[in-house]
């Protein structure tokens, strides 16, 4: 239009274009068209000024936007709701909430958009109550809050772990005829996942599909992460196929979450199998993928494989980062290959990767363990001479060793040195001193450590409470030890299976001949039901009712030891206490029955578990089917396999865990082809990569 007029662009044409560019935060092009507008003889008006305020605000040039806003009356342009809304948005985006609120109060007229902008800004700044008040004011004025306003409040509630309120807001939004976006729905799903409330997360996910919008890869990834965090990797793996069935392709993040989870729960081979699947999908593993694999191999003591994988990274176009180097250095030190670890440290520095506190810690641990605290201190002195910034983690390692050597004077001196350098003691540091006092029977000093932690705002975690509990129990103060459970209420200090192990060990020790040591490994072979019931009565005497966690901790350990009689009695006691079996207890019971070769009972329990809506772990099927075949009941194994709800699982993982790791590696290759055929008939077809893995295993072991 400009080059071939007529028709020539008018002021309106230029304003429309400038406004569009400013909304997209493309300010340089907007300013070029402003210059062209002026050169063409058209003068900027209020509409132009409002557009530029939007442009400068969205490029975070708030002061320039404010200058234009202030100059509008001087140029004869009245400031309208668009001017105010644009300026308020700019102030909110840069965190200047007080100025935004002040400007809002100066407005003579408001519109729905201005309120929505302010609600979003308040939520972004974490001013939830104020945002909610603004939302209520909108309703009182007869306006329906916009999708944007609702989304901002929902996102804030999720970030503040108030997910129930967020879901209520989601429902309110829907009731008013607004359709929440996939981002808003995913925020609620993710919020429930963070709280470990996976049934609620799945419920919102299903509701999202039915009523509002199609989940995207981020929604599925939120669920994958949540299931992995709760240890339900089989549920997370099952989402891979469901994603594809609904037209959503897994991305690198999806696979990385699954690879890491398989590693964390000890299924390293499955993690590598996932890598093959990932590559079969045309996705290359990144540094996060390989960091998980290297770390898992190191923790498993497979240091040669970890080193080989590390060496292969360069050929894959991946540059090792701090986490990669630290994992391998830690693994090498734990395998007594300190010289190799030191060479790796030098390589790390030459590669431009700066070591941190976790890089040096394995060397200090090794020196303290092999040569004593003095060598550890000498290493710290060398670090200080080289101007390496030490942290609490480094000092705590040496302090712990000094306490174990009963060198309390030097431990106190090093503690003081640590604090003087700005390294404040953390929960681990305090727990080392508490443990030392408990080992000496100095419980008053140990209690004082807890008081000091509270004064210093350091969270007293589960390990700290367990340490104190062990100290009291070791000198026969069982009631004092049990009473500590009352303090173990928040997320960081929930009782775990070690908590109950400590209490039980001391009760059993009291029953045994004096002087006969009771080691943890032998506890579950020695403990009797009377010991368990004594623990329960002691807890009740201290107003602590045994709950699901208490039963789970004890049942799982008895199950691992194959103590079926005790397990059965405890389950009956649970029912008397009106406690229902959870997924973990069902799993433990199935494993115990398999160990006791009561396979019919195990299958009946699995059937009951499924009937209650639980999805059994694949390892339960592996033990059941292998046990049946070993007992000569292959026909029953095939019948069970054919009746399983394999649609609830990932077909690849079924083949990996049940067929390859279970049947083939236990010498039952002959039945595998029939099993795979049954899967295919149920439309549970594994990937081509898994078929290749199956062929490799059969050729090797078949």
Sign, CA dihedral 364-369-375-376, equals positive
493-511: average pLDDT: 81
What pLDDT was estimated at residue 325? Answer: 93
Token readout for 183 is 């981002």
Average pLDDT, whole number, for the chain? 85
If we measure between CA atoms, which residue out of 470, 407, 461 comes closest to residue 429?
461
Residue 177: count other Cβ atoms within 10 Å of its Cβ: 7
The number of angstroms, rounded, from the C-alpha of 457 to the middle of its chain's C-alpha atoms is 24
Cβ proximity of 216 and 248 under 8 Å: yes
| Global pTM value | 0.81
- Binned at pLDDT 50, 70 and 90, residue 293 comes out as very high
Tell me the average pLDDT across 403-423.
90
DSSP 226-269: HHHHTT-HHHHHHHHHHHHHTT----HHHHHHHHHHHHHTT-HH
DSSP 8-class letter at 2: -
3-state helix, strand, coil in the chain (%, to 5): 75, 0, 25
Q: How confident is the model at residue 521 (pLDDT cuts 50, 70, 90)?
A: low
**Residue 425 pLDDT:** 92
- According to the model, what pLDDT value does residue 110 have? 67
515 pLDDT more than 60: no
In eight-state DSSP terms, residue 491 is G
Asked if pLDDT for residue 667 goes beyond 60, the answer is yes
Which pLDDT does position 292 carry in this prediction? 94
Give the model's pLDDT for residue 260: 94
pLDDT band at 237 (very low <50, low <70, confident <90, very high): very high
Q: Residue 292's CB: how many other CB atoms inside 10 A?
A: 25
Phi, then psi, of 477 in degrees rounded to 5: -90, 65
Above pLDDT 90, what percent of the chain? 19
Q: What is the pLDDT of residue 290?
A: 94
Please write the tens of the pLDDT for every residue from 562-610: 888 888 888 888 888 888 888 888 888 888 888 888 888 889 888 888 8
**Mean of pLDDT values over 543-567:** 84
Indicate the SS3 state at residue 628. Answer: helix
Structure confidence at residue 381 (pLDDT): 86
Q: Residue 484: pLDDT above 60?
A: yes
**What is the pLDDT at residue 702?**
52
pLDDT at residue 542 greater than cutoff 80: no
For the segment 673-680, the average pLDDT, to the nearest whole number, is: 84
DSSP assignment of 631-683 equals TT-HHHHHHHHHHS-GGGS-HHHHIIIIIIIIIGGGT-GGGHHHHHHHHHHTT
Domain ranges of the chain: 9-145, 617-701
Cα gap 23→26, rounded to integer Å: 8
User: How many of the other CB atoms lie within 10 Å of CB of 3?
Assistant: 5
Greater confidence, 111 or 319?
319
Residue 116: is its pLDDT beyond 80? no
Neighbours of 342 (CB within 10 A): 14
Q: Which fold has domain 9-145?
A: 1.25.40
Strands (E), 50-207: none
């Amino acid at each position: 239009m400009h080059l071939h007029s007529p028709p020539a662009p008018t002021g309106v044409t230029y304003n429309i274009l400038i406004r569009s560019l400013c909304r997209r935060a493309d300010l340089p092009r907007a300013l070029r068209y402003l210059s062209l507008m002026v050169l063409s003889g058209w003068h900027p008006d209020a509409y132009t000024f409002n557009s530029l305020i939007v442009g400068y605000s969205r490029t975070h040039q708030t002061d320039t936007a404010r200058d234009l806003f202030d100059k509008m009356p001087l140029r004869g342009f009245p400031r309208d709701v668009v001017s105010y809304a644009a300026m308020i948005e700019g102030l909110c985006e840069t965190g200047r909430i007080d100025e935004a609120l002040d400007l809002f109060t100066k407005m003579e007229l408001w519109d729905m958009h201005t309120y929505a902008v302010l609600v979003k800004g308040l939520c972004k700044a974490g001013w939830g109550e104020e945002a909610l008040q603004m939302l209520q004011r909108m309703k009182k004025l007869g306006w329906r809050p916009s999708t944007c306003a609702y989304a901002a409040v929902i996102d804030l509630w999720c970030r503040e772990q108030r997910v129930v309120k967020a879901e209520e807001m989601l429902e309110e939004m829907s009731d008013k005829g607004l359709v929440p976006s996939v981002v808003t729905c995913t925020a609620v799903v993710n919020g429930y996942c963070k709280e470990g409330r996976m049934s609620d997360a799945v419920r919102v996910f299903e509701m999202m599909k039915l009523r509002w919008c199609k989940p995207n890869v981020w929604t599925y990834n939120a669920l994958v992460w949540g299931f992995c965090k709760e240890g339900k990797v089989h549920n997370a793996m099952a989402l891979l196929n469901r994603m594809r069935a609904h037209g959503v392709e897994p991305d690198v993040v999806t696979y990385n979450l699954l690879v890491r989870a398989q590693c964390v729960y000890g299924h390293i081979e499955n993690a590598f199998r996932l890598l093959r699947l990932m590559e079969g999908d045309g996705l290359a593993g990144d540094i996060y993928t390989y960091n998980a694999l290297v770390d898992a191999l190191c923790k498993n003591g497979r240091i040669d494989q970890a080193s080989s994988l590390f060496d292969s990274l360069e050929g894959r176009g991946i540059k090792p980062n701090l986490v990669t180097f630290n994992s391998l250095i830690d693994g090498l030190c734990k395998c007594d290959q300190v010289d190799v670890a030191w060479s790796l440290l030098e390589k790390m520095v030459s590669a431009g990767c700066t070591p941190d506190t976790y890089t040096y810690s394995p060397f200090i641990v090794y020196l303290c363990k092999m040569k004593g605290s003095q060598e550890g201190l000498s290493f710290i002195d060398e670090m200080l001479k080289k101007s390496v910034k030490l942290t609490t983690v480094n000092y705590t390692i040496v302090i712990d060793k000094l306490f174990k050597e009963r060198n309390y004077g030097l431990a106190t001196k090093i503690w003081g040195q640590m604090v003087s350098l700005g390294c404040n003691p953390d929960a681990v540091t305090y727990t080392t001193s508490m443990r030392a006092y408990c080992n000496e029977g100095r419980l008053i000093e140990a209690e004082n450590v807890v008081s000091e932690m509270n004064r210093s705002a350091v969270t007293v975690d589960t390990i700290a409470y367990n340490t104190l509990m062990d100290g009291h129990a070791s000198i026969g103060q069982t009631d004092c030890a049990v009473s500590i459970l009352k303090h173990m209420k928040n997320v960081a200090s929930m009782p775990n299976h070690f908590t109950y192990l400590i209490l039980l060990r001391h009760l059993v020790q009291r029953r045994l001949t004096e002087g006969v040591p009771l080691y943890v490994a032998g506890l579950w072979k020695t403990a009797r039901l009377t010991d368990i019931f004594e623990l329960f009565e002691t807890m009740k005497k201290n107003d602590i009712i045994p709950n699901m966690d208490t039963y789970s901790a004890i049942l799982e350990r008895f199950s691992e030891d194959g103590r079926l009689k005790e397990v059965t009695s405890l389950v009956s006691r649970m029912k008397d206490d009106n406690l229902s079996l959870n997924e973990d207890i069902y799993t433990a019971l199935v494993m115990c029955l398999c160990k006791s070769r009561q396979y019919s009972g195990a299958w009946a329990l699995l059937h009951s578990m499924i009937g209650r809506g639980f999805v059994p772990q694949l390892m339960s099927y592996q033990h059941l089917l292998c046990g049946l075949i070993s007992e000569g009941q292959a026909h029953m194994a095939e019948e069970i396999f054919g009746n399983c709800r394999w649609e609830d699982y990932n077909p690849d993982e079924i083949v990996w865990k049940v067929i390859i790791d279970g049947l083939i590696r236990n010498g039952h290759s002959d039945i595998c082809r029939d099993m795979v055929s049954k899967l295919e008939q149920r439309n549970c077809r594994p990937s081509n990569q898994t078929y290749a893995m199956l062929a490799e295993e059969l050729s090797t072991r078949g």
